[in-house]
A and B are shown apart, each in its own frame.
Chain A
């Protein structure tokens, strides 16, 4: 028994529940036999992946659904091995763009360091007579070294992963090319997480292997995808389904399960889920587990961390003191330990806090959150920025409340 989300995922373009016009266009695209690189974007839970998988099935038949997890080992130019996980069928390969970065970095650093020290050792033997010369040399070397590392690192980090993978896929021709398409597909998820350099490398790779390979890029927004890539791809936007569409999907799924979903509950679920269909289906299934037959005013289960975050926000609003900040910090740590990414925490915290504060404060708080979210992306250790946001909110809120009190008194 698999989850409803997986069980009732549409498998062909004709079975899609919404954005039917777009589905028809996609089918036309595939029926021409060939298609350009695609860039599929849209908010999470809108059905990007489902659409892509439908497209692949349309292309290659049922074979694409036989997925296997693969553990690939790549060799970086530094001869270090990089391990990544991929999901593949005979016809396509799915890679998450975020993988492989960190390990490459460290291996490279280590590599560079060792070679640098050997070099330095030799040099110091050559000019052992003069200390000052050695000193100068050291500085020179150090500069060379930083330059060397920086170029190598930037070029290699994720680029290696992407390029190598695509190369292996692209270089192996389809065996049964008579019956099948003459290209394979590489599906790259979370393209917006790629660094600029990796994206540039991707651009070159895209051009090089057009004959044997098509790329489908998948991302939540195009703003972090560089222009050259955007222009090389056919951009397909997959918007979120409307509330009614979510409701109809939920009802249809429940019907297939043999359940009766009251329309009020369906509506409530779709609103609660923020029109994120995946979330909506999970919520619906959780409702089913919680209680059946459904009642219209049933409480909808929410993810634990959301409740936890709400409580954290309440804690912030109810009292502003260093001690309370310490408690909030512990809660933030707890959230981080439970795999909630810092930017999601920041966003959730902001939404909860905005609910709690007055209209006048809202702009300031949003500005504050944007400021620290930006730093969160740039910075190194998330907790500093999260905590700075909370602390400054506390100070601001406290001042606002005190001013309000003063205003009341006079």
Chain B
């Protein structure tokens, strides 16, 4: 699934191209003569960010996508958090002034302004950007350094070879001074946003190239990758932690554009456009903008596209869709009064599929937020009379979430989600009775999905039973505060179990025993017997598996903390993206503290078990 992130990006770009003709009957002109060879002008470059001052060149072109027209040109116009910009700027300053290059990795959700930040900063610091683009054939090279390929070799070299060549050349040679080029600088940086496809499958080759690059690097190299909730987020597989340390890669992670910043941008653009169009298009009120804002979940590019889309009601092509808009807006207005339901409804237009990172999704279930019993909202939500007295202990305050939606938004199969819940639910319970109840429901859920023939239909019911069971049985009303979340151990344990069983069978097959008696009777005694006729593998197995360390505390399996951006099933974990997130998300998604739970493998004598 590695290709998905890049695929996302590509899709987003394609989307832009599809949008263009809908606003114009003319072919897209090249709007601004670029100073640097830029192939993908207008795609990701200017679309990420907006600024409210129209470009001089494009002012005439009414139907140009707003994302292009309002692309920011200076730092102040960026909708990115100040500190992030500063961070990137500092890095760029440091690494362009010295001749020693470095590697920067920018991550973040799509449409949060990664590329634009780099471009704007590069412009301000007068650094040239030298960008790698994937090409489908030799002819499509447009970057000047890549022309050389066409000149030199008719032979087609593999993409990764080309990439290596590109890096090394870009690193080594300076720009040619061309008359008319106002570039007075020889500072440059290499930008890679399009990853050669091969690397997504073979991470090793990229790593090798990077190592080679770092050894001889003279100019900074910037990678830009989109985050995704996809389980195999490629930033993690392409740039694993150890590589980042080895090559001294700086990782700066962007957050989704904050609603306030986005709102500001949308409002400005909306007013500017409305003023220009002289009533030709409908002006959206604040509520509609707000809903657009929340619907886009921090993707400013998609928010702008939707804004433009909604604002042109009188195109014949869109009349049908247009009818939806006002109704959608009306709905939204109503919705504002009932904030509890807001989550489930998506705007008719411009809604980006809200997806929750696993950390948030788990938190929603485990923290079990319920409405206040006394509040009028709660009374509204709970239909029917209160339960009779003998059933009163089943009474729960209405939920603020729909568990099924949460599971759906988490982009995981119900079973895996259940595993995560199972791993973590105990920390959120204080009463054993509640735990017993919750575990009962989880056992039920497992049973529902047990049969492989019916699993595809039943797994939704299973996850529903598990999530609702956990929600229901948690009777504690107070908040527990922050708790770290962990990745489930079961998969690993199960794998080890299977592997060890197989190994036992193959290593000790000569005893001709059934697996159960081999594993429970013979193997445990082997270490207690002095029996020299064992080969190395058998000895090792006996040491590892047949013996159990009794003296020790049951060394907890190493718990892997789940960070808030972790996609589901990953061996590698990452604890980046820490500080800045907090100031935006507030208490919503605090950060796990890893160290205090991980027990060291020290000899802890169990004495508490013997007492009482």
Taking beta carbons and an 8 Å cutoff, which residues of A are in contact with B? 1-3, 5-6, 44-45, 49, 67, 69, 85, 87, 94, 96, 98, 146, 150, 189-190, 276, 278-279, 282-283, 285-286, 289-290, 301, 303-308, 311, 314-315, 318, 320-323, 325-327, 329-331, 333-341, 344, 372, 375, 378-381, 383-385, 387-388, 391-392, 394-396, 398-399
CB distance from B7 to the nearest CB of A (A): 20
Contacts of A44 in B (CB 8 A): 514, 516-517, 521
Which applies to chain B's interface (DSSP): helix, strand, loop or mixed? helix
Contacts of B496 in A (CB 8 A): 336-337
CB distance from A304 to the nearest CB of B (A): 4
Contact partner of B439 (CB less than 8 A), chosen from A190, A335, A388, is A388
How far apart are the CA atoms of A150 and B432 in the complex, in Å? 41
CB distance from A322 to the nearest CB of B (A): 5
How many A-B residue contacts, CB cutoff 8 Å?
Answer: 199
Contacts of A1 in B (CB 8 A): 531-533
CB atoms of B521 and A282 under 8 A apart: yes
Taking beta carbons and an 8 Å cutoff, which residues of B are in contact with A? 415, 419, 422, 426-427, 429-433, 435-436, 438-440, 442-443, 445-447, 449-450, 453, 489-490, 493-494, 496-497, 500-501, 504-506, 509-512, 514-517, 519-525, 528-533, 545-548, 550, 554-557, 606, 608-612
Contacts of B517 in A (CB 8 A): 44-45, 278
CB atoms of A392 and B514 under 8 A apart: no
CB atoms of A87 and B548 under 8 A apart: no
Given contacts A331-B554, A334-B554, A384-B422, contact A289 B548 (CB under 8 A): no
CB atoms of B493 and A337 under 8 A apart: yes
CB atoms of A379 and B529 under 8 A apart: no
CB atoms of B609 and A379 under 8 A apart: no
Give 13 CB contacts A-B under 8 Å. Answer: A85-B505, A190-B514, A190-B515, A301-B528, A303-B524, A314-B610, A330-B555, A330-B557, A380-B449, A381-B419, A381-B446, A385-B443, A388-B442
Contacts of A335 in B (CB 8 A): 548
CB distance from A400 to the nearest CB of B (A): 12
CB atoms of B440 and A392 under 8 A apart: yes
CB atoms of A387 and B556 under 8 A apart: no
CB atoms of A391 and B439 under 8 A apart: yes
Given contacts A304-B550, A336-B494, contact A322 B435 (CB under 8 A): yes
CB atoms of B520 and A380 under 8 A apart: no
CB distance from B525 to the nearest CB of A (A): 4
Contacts of B524 in A (CB 8 A): 303-306
CB atoms of A325 and B548 under 8 A apart: no
Closest to A398 in B: B432
Given contacts A384-B422, A387-B439, contact A340 B519 (CB under 8 A): yes
Contacts of A96 in B (CB 8 A): 514-515
CB atoms of A333 and B426 under 8 A apart: no
Contacts of B445 in A (CB 8 A): 384
Contacts of A322 in B (CB 8 A): 426-427, 429-432, 435
CB atoms of A290 and B497 under 8 A apart: no
CB atoms of A327 and B554 under 8 A apart: yes
Contacts of B511 in A (CB 8 A): 6
CB atoms of A375 and B611 under 8 A apart: no
Closest to B456 in A: A146
Contacts of A315 in B (CB 8 A): 609
CB atoms of B512 and A378 under 8 A apart: no
CB atoms of A282 and B525 under 8 A apart: yes
Contact partner of B443 (CB less than 8 A), chosen from A190, A304, A321, A384, is A384
| Given A69-B510, A388-B436, 7 extra CB contacts under 8 A | A2-B533, A3-B531, A325-B432, A326-B426, A335-B548, A337-B493, A395-B432
Closest to B493 in A: A333
Contact partner of A305 (CB less than 8 A), chosen from B497, B515, B520, is B520
CB distance from A216 to the nearest CB of B (A): 14
How far apart are the CA atoms of A107 and B374 in the complex, in Å? 58
How far apart are the CA atoms of A6 and B529 in the complex, in Å? 14
Contacts of B438 in A (CB 8 A): 391
Pairs of residues from A and B, 4 with the lowest C-beta to C-beta distance, nearest first:
A303-B524, A395-B436, A304-B548, A388-B443
Closest to A286 in B: B528
CB atoms of A303 and B525 under 8 A apart: yes
- Residue among B435, B445, B496, B500 with most chain A CB within 10 A: B435
